């Protein structure tokens, strides 16, 4: 992909050196769309020259003189007269310049989406749990970035977009992550143990805490069963939870896990620890969104419109997380002066926290 990108950029630059009269029709390609600083600098330089006043035979000298005025010495040393001549000579067909420009812009969109995904992952992994809501702002900024990329793509001529914006032949899906990036199994165990000890707290968390927020499958199963029982106004205890859990797909809680949760005997902390579970899960989903953006961007089969559409879809869960965190913060039981209870023993070895995700 990088090699083809470079060739497309060189073909576009060569076409403009050969036919500089076409430059005014190429203003929809910004200098930042180029993958190399020397390419971007040359593109900017070419647009700074008024070629209507330059004779055909004087074009190489005019470009060389303009390049000599570039401030960055390293770029001047790259853009030698022989290099400029080479670009013009190796361009496959100067008349195909609009398509080369579209290819250059498409590649830039892929790089921008990949960079946005990396930023999301960095934010998700470096943010403290209690700052999850602020971290989700990065998701909003990414949505705005995608909107800008979509607008930039629409500035390309329709004929170019029709040639490049084709549907992929096969369904494109990102490579799944090997493991979650953020977990807090201790908070998950404390939350479930507290609810099991005092089911009256269910109303404080069911409006915003979901079973999918739990990283440990057995704790998720326990919470899902308790939510179902609470909706039916049924008694909640280890036996009713175990009975209900078997009706749901997925792993069932073992007797050991239920026994250890019952022995924990926590009271009055479900809303506090539950908010930690939610915040941790939100940060993990932020990382998952970044992971998907990065993988979509690296797929050459996705044209710009499809890439942006896939990226927007990957960001959708973040908006729901924002609303649920706001809901949790509004709960009256989450008063700022409420002290959490001492940590409960976390069932082991079945509740061992997962290892950090391996980079793909």
C-alpha 295/C-alpha 281 separation (Å) is 21
Dihedral angle sign, alpha carbons of residues 95, 107, 88, 40: positive
CB 264, CB 235: distance < 8 Å: no
Give the residue ranges of DSSP H helices in the chain.
2-18, 37-48, 59-67, 73-78, 81-90, 97-126, 132-135, 137-154, 158-164, 185-197, 202-205, 217-231, 238-245, 255-264, 270-297, 304-330
C-alpha 72/C-alpha 280 separation (Å) is 45
C-alpha 184/C-alpha 282 separation (Å) is 12
- The tens-digit pLDDT sequence of the chain (360 residues) is 789 999 999 999 999 999 999 999 999 999 999 999 999 999 999 999 999 999 999 999 999 999 999 999 999 999 999 999 999 998 999 999 999 999 999 999 999 999 999 999 999 999 999 999 999 999 999 999 999 999 999 999 999 999 999 988 778 888 889 889 999 999 999 999 999 999 999 999 999 999 999 999 999 999 999 999 999 999 999 999 999 999 999 899 999 999 999 888 777 789 999 999 999 999 999 999 999 999 999 998 899 999 999 999 999 999 999 999 999 988 644 444 444 444 544 444 444 444 433 232
Judged on CB neighbours under 10 Å (0-12, 13-18, 19+), 275 is buried
Cα-Cα-Cα-Cα torsion 60, 61, 64, 68, nearest 10 degrees, comes to -170
Question: So what's the pLDDT on residue 167?
Answer: 84
In which residue are the tokens 């083809």 written?
4
CB neighbours of 13 closer than 8 A, spacing ≥ 6? 39, 42, 43, 46, 87
Question: So what's the pLDDT on residue 45?
Answer: 97
C-alpha 331/C-alpha 328 separation (Å) is 5
Q: What's the per-residue H, E or C state across 156-192?
A: CCHHHHHHHCCCCCCCCCCCCCCCCCCCCHHHHHHHH
Question: So what's the pLDDT on residue 264?
Answer: 86
Closest by CA position to 156, among listed 287, 12, 331, 344: 12
C-alpha 168/C-alpha 260 separation (Å) is 51
Question: So what's the pLDDT on residue 331?
Answer: 63
C-alpha 129/C-alpha 284 separation (Å) is 10
Question: So what's the pLDDT on residue 330?
Answer: 80
C-alpha 217/C-alpha 240 separation (Å) is 18
Q: How far is CA 105 from CA 5, 257, 318, in A?
A: 10, 54, 28
């Amino acid at each position: 992909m990088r090699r083809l990108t470079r060739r497309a950029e060189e073909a576009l630059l060569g076409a403009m050196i050969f036919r500089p009269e076409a430059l005014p029709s190429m203003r929809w390609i910004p200098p930042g769309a180029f993958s190399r600083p020397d390419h971007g600098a040359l593109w900017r330089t070419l647009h700074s020259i008024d070629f209507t006043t330059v004779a055909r035979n004087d074009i190489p000298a005019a470009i060389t003189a303009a390049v000599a005025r570039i401030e960055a010495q390293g770029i001047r040393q790259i853009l030698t007269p022989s290099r400029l001549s080479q670009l013009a000579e190796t361009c496959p067909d100067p008349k195909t310049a609009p398509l080369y420009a579209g290819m250059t812009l498409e590649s830039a969109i892929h790089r921008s989406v990949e960079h946005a995904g990396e930023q999301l992952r960095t934010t998700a992994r470096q943010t403290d749990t209690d700052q999850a809501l602020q971290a989700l702002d990065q998701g909003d900024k990414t949505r705005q970035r995608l909107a800008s990329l979509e607008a930039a793509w629409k500035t390309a001529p329709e004929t170019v977009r029709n040639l490049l914006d084709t549907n992929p032949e096969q369904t494109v899906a990102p490579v799944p992550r090997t493991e979650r990036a953020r977990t807090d199994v201790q908070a998950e165990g404390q939350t479930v143990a507290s609810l099991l000890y005092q089911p009256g707290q269910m109303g404080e968390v069911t409006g915003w805490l979901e079973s999918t927020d739990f990283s440990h499958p057995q704790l998720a199963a326990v919470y899902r069963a308790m939510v179902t029982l609470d909706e039916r106004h049924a008694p909640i205890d280890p036996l009713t939870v175990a009975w209900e859990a078997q009706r749901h797909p997925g792993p069932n809680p073992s007797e050991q896990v239920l026994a250890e949760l019952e022995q924990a005997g926590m009271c009055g902390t479900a809303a506090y620890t539950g908010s930690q579970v939610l915040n941790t899960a939100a940060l993990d989903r932020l990382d998952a969104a970044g992971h998907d953006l990065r993988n979509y961007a690296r797929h050459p089969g996705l044209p710009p419109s499809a890439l942006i559409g896939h990226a927007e879809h990957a960001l959708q869960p973040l908006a729901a997380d924002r609303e649920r965190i706001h809901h949790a913060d509004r709960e009256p039981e989450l008063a700022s002066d409420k002290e959490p209870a001492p940590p409960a023993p976390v069932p082991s070895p079945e509740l061992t926290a997962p290892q950090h995700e391996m980079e793909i």
